[in-house]
Chain A
Amino acid sequence: MTTTVAAPVTAAPVTKAKVRRGWTQHGLLFVAPFLIVYAVFLIWPTLLGLQMSFSSVNIAGGNDRFVGFDNYAEAFSDPRMWRSLWNTLVFTVLSTIPLVFLGLVFALLVHNLRFMQWLWRLSFFGPFLLPSAVVSLLWLQMIYPPDFGLLNGTLGTDILWLGDPSVAMWSVVLTTVWWTVGFNFLLYLAALQSIPQHLYEAAAIDGATAWDKLRSITLPLLRRTTALIVVLQLVASLKVFDQIYLMTGGGPEDSTRPIIEYAYDVGFTGYRIGYASAVSYILFVLIVIVSLAQLRLFRKREEVTS
């Protein structure tokens, strides 16, 4: 990144010194509006959250004392924190595998079908465009009810999809896969379209079957895209909140409560916003670790393409 920043400058015209002075003033003016919003609504809350995680502040701003690592010590000995962290990790693993795999399968199918593309795209990507509240209402009210819901009614089963603690997490994953697989599907579709056609033509001359082409051209060339999609999906799944909060409220018996919901519970219904910050920052550290992997991935990609 840093090497290319200088490129336009070296190509500057004769009046270099003069122009550059002008650039100096303008440059700051160009970045100022974003930087002000960014500083006030992202940088400052990040620092404030860190400070709050070391204090006993409540939601009204009262009882603001420095308590050192007390919040973190409490969090690490809090069974409900561990339960919600565990739920978040379980959800992340259970959702990432089908979301990446099905995204790839859908993209391969649609890419190789040469007609009615718009219909396939609408079917698989459409749900991604729905707000979480729409998705949750639909599944909670008309698909998961054990008596008149679409699932039991169609399958002839008698499952308590959201009421049974050993089933609820799977149901949440099922809804999430239906809702968001379209995003990965689109990313894979874009990657497939960028594979040069002549590779397949050359393979066809050599007598390769469709299966050969998939195994030795398509899948190897999708490896980087897959790595990127996996990381994006891990980060997205770790941040899960909406559909779980709206469909199960974290229950039954805390079996689906994710860590963001726990932070919300202790902060916004328990009013302990300092403790909520500490719980949030535990997740924050996890996400930063995954994101750093993502940054490394981007950098490698740049080295290859440039």
Chain B
Amino acid sequence: MTKRFSFGQLVLLVVTLALAVIWLAPLAWAVATSLKPEAETTKIPLEWFGSEITFDAYALVLGTGGIVKWAINSTVTALVVTFMTVLFSAMAAYGFARTQFRGQRALLGLVLAGIMVPPQVLIAPLFAEMVSFGLVDTWWAIILPQVAAPLIVYILFKFFQDVPAELEQAAFVDGAGRWRVFFQIVLPLSRPVLGAVSIFTFINTWNNFLWPFLVSTDPNTMTLPVGLANVVQGTFGLRYAQIMASVVLAGLPLLVVFVLFQRQIIRGVAHTGLAGQ
């Protein structure tokens, strides 16, 4: 493959550019609509730009809606889920990969089998369980089921198996205990893979809808996707500029994070997605 700009490259560029324009159009349309005066949002034939650019819709959404509160709820729950998932999964993966105990093989088999269980088919029993625990409408109801992620244990298990044993043994000889070795040698060594699964977990949790939707009925505990779903059901009436302002505000945080940390996010998603490789 040459780096020279050839006719082939030009064709590639035109095709890719056309596809990119199509793929960005819905987002651009959301932004365009959110910046129009409300009266001009449903004009036929459609126009991309209104008579003026106004941020009224954003001011109204930020001033009256629960969107800021929902965004905070989403951020907090996603961070807690990510932290607990990565910590617990890393500990478990280390226990399975680098130590020995009775029943280890059976327990590992149980964890691996869980990869096949889709949480979506467990909504009825899980909800019944939350009712009996009295956890409905709390953050713990949203958080705890998402921490039970056997796929993450499997990915880290495979990684820890390949960490050279000499590194640990040198530390043991120096008198370090298991926990110190784990926290001060193994975890720092695993930073790239931990970053990858953290990013993957955070995105999934931030965007998760069905489960948080079932266990939060109180607008104060709702996450962003659940709060917006209530908007779908008519809180804003037919104020399209405001609805699109909500769409932009809710979609923006992760897109900005993506632009800033593109390399890490791509590696995180691809690594975790291709876990079998």
Contact = CB atoms under 8 A, between A and B. Distances in A.
Interface of A: 1-2, 4-5, 7-9, 11-13, 19-20, 22-31, 33-35, 37-38, 40-46, 48-49, 52, 57, 59, 61, 106, 109-110, 112-114, 118-127, 129-134, 136-143, 147-148, 150, 153-154, 178, 183, 186-187, 189-191, 197, 200, 204, 210, 225, 228, 232, 235, 239, 241-242, 246, 260, 263-264, 267-268, 273, 276-277, 280-281, 283-284, 287-288, 291-292, 294-295, 297-298, 301, 305
A190 B270 contact: yes
Contacts, number: 337
B47 to A, nearest CB: 9
B277 A288 contact: no
Interface of B: 1, 3, 8-9, 12-13, 15-16, 19-20, 23-27, 29-30, 33, 41-46, 84, 87-89, 91-92, 94-102, 104-105, 107-108, 110-112, 114-129, 131-132, 144-145, 147-148, 150, 153, 161, 165-166, 168-169, 172-173, 178-179, 182, 203, 206-207, 209-210, 214, 224-226, 228-229, 231-232, 240, 243-244, 246-247, 250-251, 254-255, 258-259, 262, 266-267, 269-271, 273-274, 276-277
Given A8-B165, A42-B114, A142-B240, A27 B124 contact: no
Interface of B is mostly: helix
B124 A33 contact: no
A54 to B, nearest CB: 12
Contact of A126 (B25, B97, B258, B269): B258
Contact of A43 (B15, B114, B203): B114
A150 B26 contact: yes
B92 A34 contact: yes
Contact of A132 (B41, B115, B209): B209
Contacts of A112: 1, 9, 12
Give the residue among B1, B12, B26 with the most A Cβ atoms within 10 A: B26
A48 B128 contact: yes
Given A8-B168, A129-B254, 4 more contacts: A25-B101, A113-B13, A190-B270, A268-B123
Contacts of A137: 228, 231-232, 243, 246-247
Contact of B124 (A49, A187, A200): A49
Contacts of A264: 123, 210, 214
Contacts of A187: 270, 273-274
B3 A133 contact: no
B100 A24 contact: yes
A71 B148 CA distance: 28
Give the residue among B23, B89, B210 with the most A Cβ atoms within 10 A: B23
A121 B266 contact: yes
A129 B204 CA distance: 9
Given A45-B126, A297-B276, A123 B210 contact: no
